[in-house]
Amino acid sequence: MPVQHRSRSEILAYAAVGMEPPPVIPLRKSDPRQAGPYRLETVLGSGGMGRVYLGRDTTGGAGLAAVKVIRPEYAEDPLFRKRFEREVGALDRVKGAHIVRLMGSGCYEDLVWVATEYIPGPTLSDVVTERGPIDAAAAWRLLADMGRAIEAIWRAGLVHRDLKPSNVVLGADGARVIDFGVVQAGDGTSLTATGQNVGTPAYMSPEQTRGLEVTTASDVFSLTSTLTYAVAGQAPFGEGTGVDVLHRVAFDAPREEVLDKVADVDAELAAFIRTCLDKDPEQRPLPETVFRTAIGHQLSAPTGGLSHAARNVPPSVHPSRASGPRHFPPPRPPNPPPTVRQPPRPRPGSAGGS
């Protein structure tokens, strides 16, 4: 029998940012009840490629999974199945603390599915919509978490290509990047369905909008646009799906009034965002630099007092501080990444696949 309630961990994850979990969405009659070892219990969401369910392993495996079941029109296409198998193989190479783990996948007749680790908590988009922009301390932490995530993707030789506020989940132990449905191999080989729109216009990189080669520098750009939205409440090039947004991303400077809002929160953060939003991919910092910059700022920041922006942060659920303003729950200090030889950044080339 499908569950109709939220787990304690999910309730606490939402409460930590002053929110309540959304209502449980029950399965429809047409929804599958099983995908591989996973019993599907509720609906988590849906998109262009399929629906996502909360799944419970019936073979004794630990934890819950977010199980995406691909729409039949794609699942029945032999070419799509081949691409799907390649994508799953690519995702299995990505390992990192701020990336959801691949739990399993399967292609059984008309049922094609992939399961990833389920992270209880709201998306960044949900938090900003309901609670407003985040403060400086939360922004530097978010930058560190997302920087570490795209570094892990980069080291696996992949590019996410769809980093945006709704693809960042704020879990109890930090931000996690989700939804690798449009992930691309670092050599430019597309792992998505032919003809599928890749990315979300307001958070695309200039090279994406122009059909040029997409590298990890594209993820740095999209990460920074996402961070700008989190701090200012607006994307740096405006919202929407029209050609005007794509043109601004490709050719215009980020909107000054938006970056001014970021500067009001933290001038150093605004300056770093400008660097990451350079139109030239070669001028943007590497993911490792993004992470180290954020961590360096966190370690050097004063521990006493709260910034002016922090006054709008939802109160903590901690009883001793429930009446006062709070940042997002503080993370455990991360260990610095091991020193490794940096792979050469690819030269700008011809258009990548989509």
Q: Within 13 Å of residue 70, how many CA atoms lie on the same side as its CB?
A: 24
Question: Tell me, what amino acid is at 275?
Answer: T
Cα angle: 221, vertex 227, 230; to 5 degrees: 150
The percent of the chain in helix, strand and coil, each rounded to the nearest 5, is 40, 15, 45
- Tell me the two tokens of residue 350: 């011809």
Query: Left, alpha or beta for 18 (phi > 0: left; psi -120 to 50: alpha)?
Result: left
- Tell me the two tokens of residue 35: 């995908």
Q: Which residue has the tokens 């988009």?
A: 125
d(CA 113, CA 123): 22
**Catalytic entry in 126, 135, 162, 219:** 162
162 annotated active-site: yes
CB 181 within 8 A of CB 199: no
Rounded to the nearest 10 degrees, how much is the dihedral formed by the CA atoms of 313, 152, 203, 243?
-170
Helices (H), 106-255: 124-131, 136-155, 206-209, 216-232, 243-251
| Residue among 304, 303, 307, 329 nearest 316 (CA) | 329
End-to-end, the C-alpha distance of the chain in Å comes to 40
What are the phi and psi torsion angles at 55 (to 5°)? Answer: -120, 145
Return the sign of the alpha-carbon dihedral for residues 242, 165, 63, 41: negative
Catalogue the active-site residues: 162
